[in-house]
Amino acid sequence: MRIRDLFDLGRPVFSFEFFPPKDDSGVDALFGRIQELRRLRPDFVSVTYGAGGSTRDRTIALVSRIQREIGLTAMAHLTCVGHTKEELAAVAQTLHDAGVRNVLALRGDPPKGESAFRAVEGGFRYASELVGFLEENFDFCVGGACYPETHVECRDHALDLAHLKIKVDAGVDFLVTQLFFDNADYFRFVDSARAAGITVPIVPGLMPVTNLEQIQRFTKMCGAKLPEPLLKRLERCAGDPVEVFRVGCDHATAQARELLDRGAPGVHFYTLNRSTATREVYKRLLE
């Protein structure tokens, strides 16, 4: 099923994101967790992408296996990092041949050890170029990323929104946000996007906090912020994993409920390959 069609069903669309492990035993363990989540009937799952090497290959294999063996709609991430146009075409064709019809098109982060993104010769510089290429040459449903607090490399809201409009116009069918913890940032962003003529669904991306140090690293890398009240609650219980888990799940549940009550088209959960917190929040939403 193409993900864009899910948004026409008149109900929230729920999804989970995973990343491919580095070895086969990790892949088998993750596959087992995804099988467990099947009972909750998410609308789709997505698998992130590492340019080059076995991580990239495992993304293709895992997405294909999820659809073939579990029967869930799966979306593969695809990035410009380290790839020529011809190489990206080959990856896209492999996904298409495996029956995958949903792709999240991304520029991608700079390779480890580098501070800035550099396109390879014969490659794409921007996600909008990859979107346009996929739109022209394949029949994928194409998703894109967006940033309620702006991209970490572009702190100008107006400029970031202008770049997003170019990407959507190139052929994006729906958007998934970077993680955020203050719903006001999401609603402000959606209002700005609509005013700019962006009409596709904008799905909020949430990550239940289970470790304070970990989430502080993530927010620093992606340019998101932890609201002061949430940060203080987490700091007070930082030495108690059970209490951190409770605080994180409570916050994510409250976030999701407000987002859905105020018209968000669904929720995309960043799982970090752990199903426990995601499953807890999702089950609460279904009650």
Q: Are 218 and 248 in contact (CB under 8 A)?
A: no
DSSP 51-81: SSHHHHHHHHHHHHHIIIII---EEEEEE-T
Is-contact 133 158, C-beta < 8 A? no
Catalytic residue among 17, 153, 228, 243: 17
**Bridge partners of residue 145, in order along the sequence:** 176
Residue 199 and residue 47: Cα distance in Å, rounded?
25
87 has catalytic annotation:
no
* Residues identified as active-site: 17
